[in-house]
Copies of this chain bind each other. A is one copy, B any other.
Amino acid sequence: MENPLAKRFAPHEIAEAEAFIEANPEAPLDPRIERLVNDLIGRVADKWTLLVLELLEEQGTLRFTRIAQQVEGISQKMLTQTLRQMERDGLLTRTVHPVVPPRVDYALTPLGNSLSAAFCGVWVWAERNLEAVEDSRRRFDTRD
């Protein structure tokens, strides 16, 4: 199994931990929950996932080939993999139309849209601070 921890909790266990966190924002997380959150962050804070997420957010429903064309540099294998993982995590829906030739549509779920919104601050940060970062990199590379 890809993530052995993913099945150790009943939904109510997670819900209780969640409620506890909400009530005690300064309390340290349950290590198991912390690990699940870190795993989740690890999956969504992925280059391809982010690019697909933003593309679907901007353009709505898209077919496999359209996504492949617009996500620069992604291989078909990684796109398939990324889409499957996002589907598994509930970020998008995959709709297969029984026609010839086959047609498969991908679209964000409300959960996917909310994640995209959560990342908005990071995109804004990246655009706002691009110059500062590039400056820092130049300085670092030319230091004695």
Contact = CB atoms under 8 A, between A and B. Distances in A.
Contact of A44 (B6, B46, B126): B126
A132 to B, nearest CB: 6
Contacts of A72: 35, 38
B40 A45 contact: no
Contacts of A130: 14, 18, 33, 36-37, 40
Interface magnitude class on chain A: 35 or more
B37 A126 contact: yes
A104 interface: no
Given A18-B128, A36-B130, 4 more contacts: A6-B138, A45-B45, A90-B135, A119-B121
Interface of A: 6-7, 9, 11, 14-15, 18, 21, 33, 35-38, 40-42, 44-47, 50-51, 72, 87-90, 111, 114-115, 117-138, 140-141
